[in-house]
Amino acid sequence: MKLWQKNTDSDAAVERFTVGADREMDLLLARADVLGSLAHTRMLHKIGLMAKDELEGVQRELKAIYRQIEQGGFAIEQGVEDVHSQVEFMLTEHLGDVGKKIHSGRSRNDQVLVDLRLMLRRAIMEIAGDVRTLFTTLQALSERHRDVLMPGYTHLQVAMPSSFGLWFGAYAESLVDDLQMLLAAYRITNRNPLGSAAGYGSSFPLDRQMTTELLGFDSPDYNVVYAQMGRGKTERVVSQAIASIAHTLARLAMDNTMFLNQNFDFISYPANLTTGSSIMPHKKNPDVWEIIRGRCNLLQGLPGQIAMLTVNLPLGYNRDLQLLKEALFPALEQVREALQMADFMLEHISVRENILDDPKYDYMFSVEVVNNLALSGVPFREAYRKVGLDIENGTFTPSKTVNHTHMGSIGNLCNDRIAQLMEAAMAEFHFERAVAAEEELIR
């Protein structure tokens, strides 16, 4: 059965092709679908389209379905087109014709829009939590190893002294910028499209401000046509935030893979967190980091995939948009898994001290010697020339004392200020408003 069905059945091949993986994807929207219906039916009662006793019955049954979803017992039955149909049919089964009233004043177009917004809002909350967890781990590692020096590189050539404090701290600060991208996505996501119906509004006197407040949205999508245009745009901006996080994780994964290599030997992990070779008994392969790198590289292509799905669509709803679920929904879980695994691995990392005692790193202190000469009054270009000639002549003697004190350098990591940036960004989400609204709906 389908909400739109009249007297004609769809061809079986057409149905298989057009439905595709939609039922599986829709299970992820079930919780949000019930929340949207809880708010919508309360609004229908307010405007006189649902009697008080009808509302009480519908609310009771919707909350029972919500509990069933939370307990993992909800399923879209064979022959039922989507989650919206399943919820409505379950209500009708228990309440009769009253269950059929819940669709008054809305279309599946705005119903799926509000489901997506609620589902993506919850996903952003969870991703933001994972970002902050990894951030905290990186900052703790930066503080713990703040004085442990390591080589810095440009062009993958040994360049200047760096530190593990700088290395870990750099990725922590990168996550702050990623969180700002996630915040922008949240602000676009956390707006209410409910009441836009098929994209052109309704002749019912809908109270869209009421459903906005009940669902904990920051504001409505005011223009009903734009509300429908938000399908695809919302997914794209969320995917851009995911890609930003994935970019940070992919580079962190590459560094870990490289630094674990025997030719670097800067870090190590317990044997049970690496894998071996079927014929080479000495191998300790960084498979976790390689999988993180590979998955995150693929995730960085997600915005382009979504853009190609939506780039030439005409105004209004088009069935192409259904495919956005298959592109985006798995990515939400994949970026969380990557964040959590990166955090897990870093909780067990060991760093090697005294790396720079190796003579092969002596030349990386050349800049320190040049700067010391300049500080003593030698013009910089003369100091640079003198040290360069000493290196060519094999008479260079490194000074391995590193005295970097300016903001953000080896001796002044500014981790406290970076932590303040993270907390300020987290506070701007105001997740508590959305959580409180949802809890009130299901109470």
Domains along the chain? Answer: 12-103 (1.10.275.10), 108-148+162-355+414-442 (1.20.200.10), 359-393 (no CATH)
Handedness of CA 369, 374, 378, 381 (dihedral sign): positive
* pLDDT higher than threshold 60 for residue 1: no
Rounded to whole angstroms, how far apart are CA atoms 2 and 370?
Answer: 77
* pLDDT higher than threshold 50 for residue 57: yes
What is the mean predicted confidence (pLDDT) over 48-64?
A: 97
What is the mean predicted confidence (pLDDT) over 147-162?
A: 93
What is the mean predicted confidence (pLDDT) over 61-84?
A: 93
* pLDDT higher than threshold 80 for residue 22: no
State both tokens at 41: 């039916």
Rounded to whole angstroms, how far apart are CA atoms 423 and 177?
Answer: 12
CA-wise closest residue to 404 among 161, 144, 126: 161
Q: Which stretch of 63-72, 278-287, 342-351 has the lowest confidence by average pLDDT?
A: 278-287
* pLDDT higher than threshold 80 for residue 9: no
Rounded to whole angstroms, how far apart are CA atoms 162 and 355?
Answer: 11
What is the mean predicted confidence (pLDDT) over 124-145?
A: 98
Residue 319 contacts residue 334 (beta carbons within 8 Å): no
pLDDT at 4: 43
Rounded to whole angstroms, how far apart are CA atoms 155 and 148?
Answer: 23
State both tokens at 16: 């298989």
State both tokens at 411: 């001796």
Residue-wise pLDDT for 298-319, tens only, equals: 999 999 999 999 988 888 888 8
Q: How far is CA 120 from the centre of its chain?
A: 10
pLDDT at 279: 62
Handedness of CA 344, 345, 346, 352 (dihedral sign): positive
Quote the percentage of the chain above a pLDDT of 90: 80
Which 3-state string (H, E, C) describes the chain? Answer: CCCCCCCCCCCHHHHHHHHCCHHHHHHHHHHHHHHHHHHHHHHHHHCCCCCHHHHHHHHHHHHHHHHHHHCCCCCCCCCCCCHHHHHHHHHHHHHHHHHHHHHCCCCHHHHHHHHHHHHHHHHHHHHHHHHHHHHHHHHHHHHHCCCCEEEEEECCEEEEEEEHHHHHHHHHHHHHHHHHHHHHHHHHHCEECCCCCCCCCCCCCCCHHHHHHHCCCCEECCCHHHHHHHHHHHHHHHHHHHHHHHHHHHHHHHHHHHHHCCCCCCEECCHHHCECCCCCCCCCECHHHHHHHHHHHHHCCHHHHHHHHHCCCCCCCCHHHHHHHHHHHHHHHHHHHHHHHHHHHHCCCEECCCHHHCHHHHHHHHHHHHHHHHHCCCCHHHHHHHHHHHHHHCCCCCCCCCCCCCCCECCECCHHHHHHHHHHHHHHHCHHHHHHHHHHHHC
* pLDDT higher than threshold 80 for residue 388: yes
pLDDT at 275: 80
Please report which confidence band the pLDDT of residue 11 belongs to, taking 50, 70 and 90 as the band edges.
Answer: low
pLDDT at 53: 97
Residue-wise pLDDT for 366-381, tens only, equals: 888 888 889 999 999 9
Residue-wise pLDDT for 234-286, tens only, equals: 999 999 999 999 999 999 999 999 999 999 999 999 999 988 655 666 668 89
Q: What rounded mean pLDDT belongs to the chain?
A: 92
Residue 277 contacts residue 285 (beta carbons within 8 Å): yes
Rounded to whole angstroms, how far apart are CA atoms 237 and 181?
Answer: 9
What is the mean predicted confidence (pLDDT) over 184-203?
A: 96
Please report which confidence band the pLDDT of residue 18 belongs to, taking 50, 70 and 90 as the band edges.
Answer: low
